[in-house]
Amino acid sequence: MQTAKSLDSGFTLLECLLAILLVGIAVAALVAANGSLTRVNAAAAELSTAEFLLEQIRELTDLLPAVDPEGGTALFGPEEGSLANYDDVDDFEDVVFNPPITSDRQPLNDFSAYTQEITVVNVSESNFENVVSDNSTAFLRVTVLVKMNGREISSAKWVRARY
């Protein structure tokens, strides 16, 4: 009888293999979860940066008149040669900034993987999606597209009135 009692006191080979299998599955699940968390965290950081860069252009253009304060509606697009001289919203027509800029027009060299693409168009008074000829209405639609290494991360549109 003592022999039967000593056999019951340890783990069998089958129990050991089953325990190893369960631990292996748990470790594989943790590694997969960690990889997913890393990817989601990176995507969130990219989106947060893109939203910051969108807001920089929004703040910059909110401070400017819709059309040139000196020339009025005579010209649509940049009248001046450099960013420092842009004095109205339509000066930003079809402009790309790489590295991106801040609301005070300073380059963000640490974000050189990102670009800010800006489009300014006149839109119909009754339908802001309908693009019309330059300076034919009092409404401008500003579109900003932020890309990272050529891949679109985020975009935003808003309408400015000339009044």
Domain boundaries, the chain: 14-161
Each residue's pLDDT tens digit, 24-62: 999 999 998 888 888 888 899 999 999 999 999 999 999
- CA 37 – CA 130 distance, rounded (Å): 42
Provide the whole-model pTM.
0.75
Selection from 145, 138, 154 nearest residue 97 by Cα: 145
Each residue's pLDDT tens digit, 72-107: 766 787 777 788 888 888 889 899 999 999 999 999
Contact 112, 96 (CB under 8 A): no
**Exposed e or buried b per residue across 116-133, where buried means at least 16 C-beta atoms within 10 angstroms of its C-beta:** bbbbbbbbeeeeeeeeee
The percent of the chain in helix, strand and coil, each rounded to the nearest 5, is 40, 25, 35
Query: What value does the mean pLDDT of the chain take?
Result: 88
Q: What is the pLDDT of residue 8?
A: 64
